[in-house]
Amino acid sequence: MAIELPALPYADNALDPHISERTISFHYGKHHAAYVNNLNGLIEGTDLADASLDEIVSNAEPGGLFNNAAQVWNHTFYWNSMSPDGGGDPSGELAAAIESSFGSIDSFKEQFKADAVGNFGSGWTWLVREGDGLAIAKTDDADTPLAHGKTALLTIDVWEHAYYLDYQNARPAYVDTFIERLLNWQFAEANFIP
Residues 76-134 have pLDDT tens digits of 999 999 999 999 999 999 999 999 999 999 999 999 999 999 999 899 999 999 988 99
194 CB neighbour count, 10 Å cutoff: 8
Residues with Cβ within 8 Å of 30's Cβ and at least 6 positions away in sequence, in order, are none
**pTM here?**
0.96
Question: What CATH fold (topology level) applies to the domain 19-194?
Answer: minor pseudopilin epsh fold (3.55.40)
Alpha carbons 180 and 12: distance in angstroms, whole number? 20
Alpha carbons 14 and 37: distance in angstroms, whole number? 25
Determine the 3-state secondary structure of 41 from DSSP: helix
**Chain-centre distance for alpha carbon 44:** 26
95 CB neighbour count, 10 Å cutoff: 17
